[in-house]
């Protein structure tokens, strides 16, 4: 694909680096007693030592609270309130401890995960389920930015140096706007700071050790907590893993390759499944023709133009679901028409909403990843590398948008990429990953495993979608590990399921 193609860069509210709890099951949460209490912190904690619990609005069986923690851990002083929620263990006599949870994002709410998830009964009776909103996210001093600037992001991938400079100017203006609306915390939204917050939370809960479940971007929190505070972990499950060792080009290329793999799985399903709306056709050829028409500006759904980004983004969402939404995607692709639009009146213009909205994702990602592209020539080379790895899918729309959002940011990130190093005090951590995950590709989990072989056990789900845990096989492995600290055998796997 030439970089001059009609590839729109749209500000989507991507959720796949964290879409909610994947530990859900059919049973509803059991009733828990409401007893306001204060957790004691360990000696020497830099953060205030207590959480004052209160009933959670709309959740009579849960407790909510806030923990003041430093905005800047390197210079403690000014604080913000970290929002926390807890559902206490349903069987105090069998209680093991706390299970901290994070759904990822960046932007997912751990509070919502703890309040809304339906965890298996075996876990609910043994653990206090505790979630927190990471700094800058949800209810924890959310980073906010001007809606006008968010909505006015450049609509296409830069086609020359002049358009690249326009993107640089926009990103810098947006960054300054977000800092102005959010205060000093904007500059300290990196995951290493979140890890320090999590350790303060452990102390405030009065727990010698914690258990942790992190999904998607929440796996980076887990990996870096294990590096710094490995002796404070009893057990840790990381589902759908980030690989923080990858530099910008490798990050983009491996992400694109994961989407390409998912596209090929969709094609294979369609070719072998009579109920697929495209069954009997050359699905990959049709896909390529639709993208080519979109590049020419000649593709429509009803009378609305459809871009190549629209098709790739729609497919990415379908591939990310669990189970993947292959039937719906195939049916939608049949509705697209190559040609000219039917004559009609001009569409009414929509007014831009004033004010601000939560927008912490760029601050987190661009402080965790030193993804800095310096000019159009470098961007062009990256796009060509993506296309070589993904000749049909072209790119990972979520990863490309994340990398583009960092163009024009200061040179140095707070928490730049490096291989994970987990010390001897940490237990063996259970990683889980779907073999055909379009968001956090299986190669990332394999690479994390190689970086910390003695401290990692990888459970492979031989299926699709973003989230490995959900089938009976994977759930049993997770329960046995969290409760009994019983690890699956090396290179254990679970069969695929489309249910």
Indicate which CATH number applies to the domain containing 214: 3.40.50.1820
CA dihedral over 81, 82, 83, 89, signed as positive or negative: negative
d(CA 458, CA 429): 9
Cα-flanking dihedrals φ and ψ of residue 125, to 5°? -80, -20
User: Exposure of 8 by Cβ count < 10 A (0-12 exposed, 13-18 middle, 19+ buried)?
Assistant: middle
Q: For the chain, how many structural domains are there in total? A: 1
In 3D space, the residue among 225, 122, 167, 183 whose CA is nearest the CA of residue 374 turns out to be: 167
Is 324 within the bounds of a domain? Answer: yes
Is 75 within the bounds of a domain? Answer: yes
Place of tokens 């987990």: 422
Q: For residue 170, what are the domain limits?
A: 1-346+357-499
According to DSSP, the β-strands at 97-102 and 79-87 are unpaired
pLDDT at 342 over 70: no
d(CA 202, CA 184): 24
Is 352 within the bounds of a domain? Answer: no
- Mean pLDDT rounded to a whole number for the chain: 89
CA dihedral over 350, 355, 359, 362, signed as positive or negative: positive
pLDDT at 24 over 80: no
Judge contact between 244 and 418, C-beta under 8 A.
Answer: yes
Is 283 within the bounds of a domain? Answer: yes
pLDDT digits (tens, 9 = 90+) for 391-406: 999 999 999 999 999 9
pLDDT digits (tens, 9 = 90+) for 114-145: 998 678 999 999 999 999 999 999 999 999 99
Is 342 within the bounds of a domain? Answer: yes
Is 351 within the bounds of a domain? Answer: no
pLDDT digits (tens, 9 = 90+) for 433-473: 999 999 999 999 999 999 998 999 999 999 999 999 989 99
Is 235 within the bounds of a domain? Answer: yes
pLDDT digits (tens, 9 = 90+) for 345-383: 444 555 566 899 999 999 999 999 999 999 999 999 999
Is 195 within the bounds of a domain? Answer: yes
What are the angstrom distances between the C-alpha of 18 and each of 15, 22, 104, 246, 425?
Answer: 6, 10, 4, 20, 28
């Amino acid at each position: 694909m030439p970089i001059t193609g009609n590839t729109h860069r749209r500000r989507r509210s991507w959720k796949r680096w964290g879409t909610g709890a994947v530990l859900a099951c059919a049973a509803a949460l059991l009733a828990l007693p409401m007893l306001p209490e204060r957790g004691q912190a360990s000696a020497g904690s830099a953060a205030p030592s207590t959480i004052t619990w209160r009933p959670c609005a709309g959740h009579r069986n849960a407790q909510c609270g806030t923990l003041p923690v430093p905005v800047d851990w390197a210079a403690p002083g000014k604080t913000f309130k970290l929002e926390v929620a807890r559902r206490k263990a349903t069987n105090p006599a069998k209680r093991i401890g706390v299970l901290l949870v994070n759904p990822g994002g960046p932007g997912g709410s751990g509070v919502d995960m703890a309040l809304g998830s339906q965890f298996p009964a075996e876990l609910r009776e043994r653990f206090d389920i505790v979630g927190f909103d990471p700094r800058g996210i949800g209810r924890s001093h959310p980073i906010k930015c001007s809606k006008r600037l968010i909505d006015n992001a450049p609509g296409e991938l830069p086609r020359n140096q002049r358009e690249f400079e326009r993107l640089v100017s926009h990103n810098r203006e947006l960054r300054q706007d977000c800092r102005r609306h959010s205060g000093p915390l904007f500059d300290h939204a990196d995951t290493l700071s979140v890890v320090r917050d999590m350790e303060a939370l452990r102390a405030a809960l009065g727990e010698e050790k914690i258990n942790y479940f992190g999904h998607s971007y929440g796996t980076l929190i887990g990996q870096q907590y294990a590096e710094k505070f490995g002796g404070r972990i009893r057990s840790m499950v990381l589902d759908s893993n980030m690989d923080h060792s990858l530099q910008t080009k490798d990050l983009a290329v491996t992400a694109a390759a994961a989407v390409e793999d998912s596209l090929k799985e969709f094609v294979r399903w369609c070719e072998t499944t009579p109920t697929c709306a495209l069954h009997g056709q050359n699905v990959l050829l049709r896909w390529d023709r639709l993208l080519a028409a979109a590049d020419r500006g000649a593709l429509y759904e009803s009378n609305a133009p459809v871009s190549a980004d629209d098709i790739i983004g729609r497919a990415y969402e379908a591939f990310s679901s669990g189970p993947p939404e292959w039937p719906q995607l195939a049916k939608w692709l049949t509705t697209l028409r190559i040609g000219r639009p039917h004559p009609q009146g001009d569409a009414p213009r929509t007014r831009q909403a004033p004010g601000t909205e939560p927008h912490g994702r760029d601050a987190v990602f661009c402080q965790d990843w030193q993804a800095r592209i310096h000019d159009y020539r470098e961007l062009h080379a990256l796009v060509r590398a993506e296309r070589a790895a993904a000749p049909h899918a072209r790119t990972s729309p979520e990863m490309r948008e994340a990398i583009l959002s960092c163009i024009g940011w200061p040179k140095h990130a707070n928490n730049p990429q490096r291989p994970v190093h987990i010390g001897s005090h940490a237990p063996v951590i259970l990683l889980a990953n779907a073999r055909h995950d379009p968001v956090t590709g299986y190669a990332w989990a394999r690479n994390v495993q190689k970086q910390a072989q003695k401290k990692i056990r990888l459970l492979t789900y031989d299926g699709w979608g973003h989230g490995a845990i959900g089938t009976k096989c994977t759930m049993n492995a997770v329960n046995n590990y969290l409760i009994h600290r019983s690890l699956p055998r090396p290179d254990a796997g679970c069969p695929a399921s489309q249910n």
